[in-house]
Amino acid sequence: MRVPPRLSGLIARILQLLFPSVCPSCNCATDSVSHAPICRKCWSGIRKYRGPSCRICATPFASEDAVVCSDCIRKPPLFSHASSFGIYEGVLAEAINLYKFHGARRLAKPLAAFLLDFDSAGIDAVVPVPLSLAGLRSRGFNQSLLLAKVFSDQKNVPLVLDGLLKCRETKPQIGLSAAERAKNLKGAFEAPKRLDGCRVLLVDDVMTTGSTANECAKQLLGSGASEVAVLTLARASSL
């Protein structure tokens, strides 16, 4: 079928809008639809972090000898342990930023696929880290919820959408110290649903100091959860 030139130009422009043709990582033409605009070569270079890390909070270590980081020794977090697929750097960070800040919702599924290695045995409920109403309005979607939904569907573990609510907007955590982050988040979340005896998996996109995860765990434990584990796509050393 012959497409009129004006129409084909329109289709090309729409496709260009939907799937920008240049991979932001290598500047080559995009050859993927599912994880566009990142090309297949760059996407396949995303690697799981397999180096040494803290057994509790998963912060990466330079040394194989350390087991638990000094922060977890000084003040153990309220979550039992955290797992992250990778390190927040390179193509993985690029993909998360496109997904989270530039509306690339289609990346939810391929990014969530990185979480599926996590062993969900013993987990009773999956709870996403929530956004405030204002945050949800401005972003249009909750990036953690979409990841948690794919995980829940694929692993057949119930998703508890209202397990946590963010009841007020908080300042961006960027540039804040761990103590300032904790203060910024104090009282920002509530867990309105009883989760008595539930082992909860809290899902988020990126974990930095763990203060969000800790505050969420505090609320979930307060609502009766017997344990809260944390699963994120990436671990950031500082943001």
Count CB atoms within 10 A of the CB of residue 138.
Answer: 10
Binding mask 4-43 for Zn ion (x = CB under 5 A): -------------------x-xx------------x--x-
* Furthest CA-CA distance within the chain: 70
Q: Does 72 bind Zn ion (CB under 5 A)?
A: yes
Q: Does 207 bind Zn ion (CB under 5 A)?
A: no
149 phi, psi to nearest 5 deg = -65, -45
> Quick one: which of 36, 46, 57, 233 contacts Zn ion (CB under 5 A)?
57
Of 56 and 160, which has the nearer Cβ to Zn ion? 56
**CB 54 to Zn ion: min, Å:** 3
**CB 91 to Zn ion: min, Å:** 8
Whole-number CA gyration radius for the chain: 19
55-63, 92-100, 144-152, 174-182 -> range binding Zn ion (CB under 5 A): 55-63
**CB 101 to Zn ion: min, Å:** 19
Q: Count of residues binding Zn ion (CB under 5 A)?
A: 10
Indicate the residue type of 177. Answer: S
**CB 53 to Zn ion: min, Å:** 8
Picking from 57, 47, 126, 54, the residue whose alpha carbon sits closest to that of residue 93 is 47
Rounded CA-CA distance 43/61 in Å is 25
> Starting at the edge strand that comes first in sequence, how are the strands of the sheet with 199-207 ordered?
81-87, 227-235, 199-207, 125-128
Q: Does 54 bind Zn ion (CB under 5 A)?
A: yes
Count of residues in the chain: 239
> Quick one: which of 36, 46, 56, 96 contacts Zn ion (CB under 5 A)?
56
Do 164 and 144 touch, CB atoms closer than 8 A?
A: no
Q: How far is CA 27 from CA 35, 104, 145, in A?
A: 15, 18, 30
**CB 192 to Zn ion: min, Å:** 29
Q: Does 69 bind Zn ion (CB under 5 A)?
A: yes
Of 92 and 198, which has the nearer Cβ to Zn ion? 92
49-57, 135-143, 146-154, 193-201 -> range binding Zn ion (CB under 5 A): 49-57
No. of H helices and E strands in the chain? 9, 6
Binding site for Zn ion (CB under 5 A): 23, 25-26, 39, 42, 54, 56-57, 69, 72
